[in-house]
């Protein structure tokens, strides 16, 4: 038996250590090995590996002579801050992390285990796509991954961490997950690479220019987070996991807060200008409200006219959606509507209450927006809010005009509570635009149209846009002192903690595409 145990130890050592030459090559690229990455992601000594000694059984093209243990993917489970997390990590040192039949079967197994156990799944992606030598078997392996991604969607958190190349069909698995992390210079995602692009379209572009971290974080919106190095990236994956529940049957983990729940926020009185045309940074408002000024912004650099972030209020996780006046005056456009809708859906799926901070001048006008489908994309956000059953609180910070007011979780579409600051303006449109429509004839007939317009704008504001107009009609539950914002939100969320909604029986909805 001792001899057999020694033999087992040798095989485990071979599987764990791999080729020194391949390890050095990985480090030379500025990349960690798969096991080093898992060591950063999971709590120390918590990793339990599954099928470490798995080897492929393919033949042809020299494969039968090369059958390394793990077959290029490390799978198992461990803990992050004491909570179970499942993980698979491509090992680029073996077949370039390419997916074959055995490789895919290992991933399928760990995905099934994560779903059965009701625990998050993290994929550490660093692979060269399908293993060409195995042909259609490799492609079928990807199909099994996509099917499981879809089955687990909204049931367990799924996080994709891009730490190397991800091309072709392989890129669809991260796109099906809840969050995508990328590392600059070393990770890329694209359906067709630069060589194919050059051959088909004649365009010259580098791998990073086509599908690098900054491209997907700023332009395409595929990546939710982008980092300069792997260690920082993986540490933030750990932080994100600390804000998410294990599955859709649980609430996010709460933590004791040292930030007093009744802390006043008088600084908000000076952060937001009264003039609705003046810009300010909504992040400063969020930081003043949340626990210890800490929050984790999702899609920080894409569709920047809306801000989506995870934070805590009195130790409880909340999702915050807020217009950002610093970018395009905080308008809703195609991308910001899609960004906010996806975030609202994620929060609703994982029992994260929603707080919506409103300062919106409307939807972005223009031919490009209309032809690009702003109606369809704006409806995505409307659908997401209307469909959400988690506690929902709306706070109108300054202005809320037109259809954008309705879409930003108004009382009319189901917000549980709606508050407003004393300077709020809720109207079909801004006073100047409204006066030009309502009093067009009077202005045109006036001997002094400018002064007449100014007077009529003033009258319109006094009649329909004063801060208490919505409160008098029950569309706002209360007008509050900005200094009481944190306390008011925490009390409202505490009251709503056990909220329950019964939805109509249906297979699923049919949201705008």
- Residue 433: its pLDDT value, please? 66
Query: Is 403 marked active-site?
Result: yes
DSSP annotation of 208: H
Q: With contact defined as beta carbons under 8 Å apart, do 89 and 122 qualify?
A: no
Return all residues near 84 (Cβ < 8 A) that are at least 6 apart. 77, 78, 117, 119, 246
Q: Name the helix (H) or strand (E) containing 299.
A: none
Q: What is the pLDDT of residue 464?
A: 66
Compute the distance between CA of residue 280 and CA of residue 320 in angstroms, rounded to an integer: 17
Q: Strand, helix or coil at 56? A: coil
Tell me how far CA of residue 24 lies from CA of 13, 28, 166, in angstroms. 17, 6, 21
Judge whether 404 counts as a catalytic residue: yes
The torsion region of residue 217 among left (phi > 0), alpha (psi -120 to 50) and beta comes to alpha
| 315 touches 255 (CB < 8 A) | yes
Q: List the beta bridge partners of residue 86.
A: 77, 121
> The tokens of 471 are what?
């409160």
The one-character DSSP state at 221 is -
Concatenating the DSSP letter of every residue in 318-384 gives EEEEEE-TTTGGG-B-HHHHHHHHHHHHHHHHTT--EEEEEEE--BPPSHHHHHTTHHHHHHHHHHH
d(C-alpha 279, C-alpha 272), whole Å: 8
CA-only gyration radius of the chain, Å: 26
Encoding tokens for residue 84?
A: 């179970």
Choosing from 39, 144, 168, 315, the catalytic residue is 168
169 catalytically annotated: yes
Residue pointed to by tokens 């799944």? 121
From the list 15, 119, 217, 404, the catalytic residue is 404
Helix, strand, coil % over all residues of the chain, rounded to 5: 45, 20, 35
Q: How many alpha carbons lie under 13 Å from residue 63 in its C-beta half-sphere? A: 18
Per the annotation, the verdict on 96 as an active-site residue is no
Query: Phi and psi at residue 320, in whole multiples of 5°?
Result: -115, 125
Q: What is the pLDDT of residue 2?
A: 84
Contact between 57 and 102 under an 8 Å Cβ cutoff? The reply is yes
Active-site residue among 39, 118, 221, 403? 403
**Out of 169, 193, 315, 433, which one is annotated catalytic?**
169
Q: What is the number of helices (H) and of strands (E) in the chain?
A: 21, 17
The pLDDT of residue 18 is: 77
Q: pLDDT tens per residue, the chain (513 residues)? A: 888 888 888 878 877 887 888 889 999 999 999 999 999 999 999 999 999 878 877 767 777 778 788 888 999 999 999 999 999 999 999 888 888 889 999 999 999 999 999 999 999 999 878 787 777 887 888 999 999 999 999 999 999 999 999 988 889 999 999 999 999 999 999 988 898 889 999 999 999 999 999 999 999 999 999 999 999 999 999 999 999 999 999 999 999 999 999 999 999 999 999 888 899 999 999 999 999 999 999 999 999 999 999 999 999 999 999 999 999 999 999 999 999 999 999 999 999 999 999 999 999 999 999 999 999 999 999 999 999 999 999 999 999 988 999 999 999 999 999 999 998 888 776 666 666 677 777 777 777 878 877 777 777 776 766 778 888 888 899 999 999 999 999 999 999 999 999 888 998 899 998
Cα–Cα distance for residue pair 338/325, rounded to 1 Å:
18
Q: Which two tokens stand for residue 105?
A: 């079967």
Residue 167, token pair as written in the block: 């091309």
DSSP letter at 504 equals P
Q: What is the pLDDT of residue 308?
A: 98
User: What's phi and psi for 331, nearest 5 deg?
Assistant: -70, 160
DSSP bridge partners of 226: 182
Interatomic CA distance for residues 239 and 427, integer angstroms: 40
Beta strands, E only, 446-486: 478-479
Q: Which of 83, 145, 64, 79 is nearest to 109 (CA)?
A: 145
For 317-339, b/e burial (b = at least 16 CB within 10 A) is bbbbbbbbbbbbbbbbbbbbbbb
């Amino acid at each position: 038996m001792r001899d057999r145990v020694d033999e087992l130890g040798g095989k485990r050592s071979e599987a764990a250590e791999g080729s020194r030459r391949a390890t050095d090559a990985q480090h030379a690229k500025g990349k960690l090995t798969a096991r080093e990455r898992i060591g950063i992601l999971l709590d120390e000594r918590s990793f339990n590996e599954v099928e470490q000694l798995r080897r492929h059984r393919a033949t042809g093209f020299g494969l039968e002579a090369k059958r390394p243990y793990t077959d290029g993917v490390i799978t198992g489970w461990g803990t992050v801050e004491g909570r179970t997390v499942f993980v698979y990590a491509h090992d680029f040192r073996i077949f370039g992390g390419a997916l074959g039949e055995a490789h895919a079967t290992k991933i399928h197994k760990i995905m099934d285990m994560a779903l059965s156990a009701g625990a998050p799944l993290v994929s550490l992606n660093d692979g060269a796509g399908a293993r060409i030598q195995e042909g259609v078997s490799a492609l079928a392996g990807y199909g099994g991954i996509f099917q499981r991604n879809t089955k687990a969607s909204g049931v367990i958190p799924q996080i994709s961490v891009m730490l190397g190349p991800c091309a072709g069909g392989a890129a669809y698995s991260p796109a099906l997950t809840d969050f995508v992390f990328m590392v600059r210079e070393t990770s890329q995602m694209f359906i067709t690479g630069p060589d194919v692009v050059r051959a088909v379209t004649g365009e010259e572009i580098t791998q990073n220019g086509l599908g690098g971290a900054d491209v997907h974080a700023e332009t395409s919106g595929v990546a939710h987070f982008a980092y300069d190095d792997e260690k920082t990236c993986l540490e933030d994956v750990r932080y994100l996991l600390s804000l998410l529940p294990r599955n859709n049957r649980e609430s996010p983990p709460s933590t004791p807060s040292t930030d007093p729940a009744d802390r006043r926020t008088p600084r908000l009185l000076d952060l937001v200008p009264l003039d609705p045309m003046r810009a300010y940074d909504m992040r400063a408002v969020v930081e003043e409200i949340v626990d210890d000024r800490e929050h984790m912004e999702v899609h920080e650099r894409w569709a920047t006219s809306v801000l989506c972030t995870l934070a805590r209020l009195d130790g409880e996780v909340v999702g915050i959606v807020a217009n950002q006046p610093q970018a395009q005056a905080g308008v809703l456009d195609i991308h910001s509507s899609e960004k906010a809708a996806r975030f609202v859906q994620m929060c609703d799926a994982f029992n994260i209450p929603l707080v919506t901070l409103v300062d919106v001048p409307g939807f972005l006008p223009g031919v490009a927006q209309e032809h690009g489908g702003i109606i369809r994309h704006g409806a995505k956000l409307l659908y997401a809010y209307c469909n959400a059953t988690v506690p929902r609180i709306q706070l109108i910070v300054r202005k809320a005009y037109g259809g954008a007011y309705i879409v930003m979780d108004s009382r009319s579409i189901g917000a549980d509570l709606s508050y407003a600051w004393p300077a709020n303006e809720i109207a079909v449109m801004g006073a100047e635009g409204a006066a030009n429509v309502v009093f067009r004839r009077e202005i045109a007939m006036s001997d002094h149209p400018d002064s007449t317009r100014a007077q009529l704008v003033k009258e319109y504001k006094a009649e329909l846009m004063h801060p208490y107009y919505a409160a008098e009609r029950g569309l706002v539950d209360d007008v509050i002192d900005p200094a009481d914002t944190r306390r008011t939100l925490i009390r409202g969320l505490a009251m709503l903690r056990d909220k329950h909604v019964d939805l109509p029986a249906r297979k699923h909805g049919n949201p705008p595409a």
